[in-house]
């Protein structure tokens, strides 16, 4: 996936689902349920046990074109291994050494940042988009404030983004929102979560109601 393809997918779909769990098989089922329910961008956090195997198995099922990425990419080794497992993009919690390695491996990066200095550094280091994390610290008003000095930045708020906050961030100019627990629930843990399909439908309706105004 090229950086402009990731940006276009974020702009079109407006929802990045974050799978972070405790069971590899449940995490795989969650990824497949998300895609099957209509979510088109999914990241698997590398904090999930067996995350690389989850990505590899999901890629085998979903095919080469699915926008399946790796999250919580911290180190150059993480970036290398994520690319080898079949990740199409990488998401980092901050501006780390993984950013350069991910780009070298052909993975566009959504790099975590929260301060103006970190946003500037993420953009300088070639991030395709900026993961505003944790987004709950400043909320939509903070996103608007950051957008003034960084009008060309593509912001994806993550962290504490429930359905209400997602709508507010999108209305405030976010390119997309990253949603973990409020969407995935306990689906990626043993026992699963029978309410996941209903929440998928809820979030997809929500993002469809928020037309994207970013360029």
Parallel, antiparallel, or unpaired: how do β-strands 177-179 and 15-19 relate? Answer: parallel
Cα angle 126, 131, 134 (rounded to 5 degrees) comes to: 145
Task: Point out the residues that are catalytic.
Answer: 43, 131
Residues in the chain predicted with pLDDT less than 50, given as ranges, are: 215
pTM: 0.96
pLDDT score for 211: 67
What pLDDT shows up at residue 210? 82
Contacts of 208 (CB under 8 A, 6+ apart): none
Note the maximum CA span of the chain.
46
Q: Judge: domain 3-208, CATH 3.20.20.70.
A: yes
Nearest to 57 by CA among 82, 80, 86, 33: 86
**Nearest-angstrom CA–CA distance, 111 and 148:** 19
In whole angstroms, give the CA distance from residue 203 to residue 154: 20
What are the φ and ψ backbone dihedral angles of 42, each rounded to 5 degrees?
Answer: -135, 135
pLDDT of residue 148: 95
Distance CA 4, CA 104 (A): 16
pLDDT 10s digits, 103-124: 999 999 999 999 999 999 999 9
Closest CA to 142 of 160, 121, 127, 128: 160
């Amino acid at each position: 996936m090229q950086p402009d393809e990731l940006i276009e997918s974020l702009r079109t779909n407006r929802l990045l689902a974050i799978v972070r769990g405790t069971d590899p098989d449940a995490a795989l089922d969650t990824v497949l349920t998300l895609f099957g329910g209509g979510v088109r961008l999914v990241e698997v956090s590398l904090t999930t046990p067996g995350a690389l195997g989850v990505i590899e198995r999901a890629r085998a099922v979903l095919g080469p074109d699915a926008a399946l990425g790796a999250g919580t990419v911290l180190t150059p080794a993480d970036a290398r291994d994520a690319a080898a497992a079949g990740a199409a993009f990488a998401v980092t919690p901050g501006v780390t050494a993984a950013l350069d390695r991910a780009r070298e491996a052909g993975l566009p990066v959504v790099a975590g940042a929260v301060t103006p200095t970190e946003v500037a550094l993420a953009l300088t280091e070639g991030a395709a988009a900026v993961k505003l994390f944790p987004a709950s610290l400043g909320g939509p008003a903070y996103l608007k404030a950051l957008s003034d000095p960084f009008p060309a930045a593509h912001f994806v708020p993550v962290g504490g983004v429930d359905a209400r906050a997602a709508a507010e961030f999108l209305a405030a100019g976010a390119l997309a929102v990253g949603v973990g627990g409020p969407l995935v629930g306990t689906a990626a843990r043993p026992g699963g979560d029978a309410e996941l399909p209903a929440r998928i439908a809820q979030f997809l309706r929500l993002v469809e109601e928020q037309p994207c105004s970013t360029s």
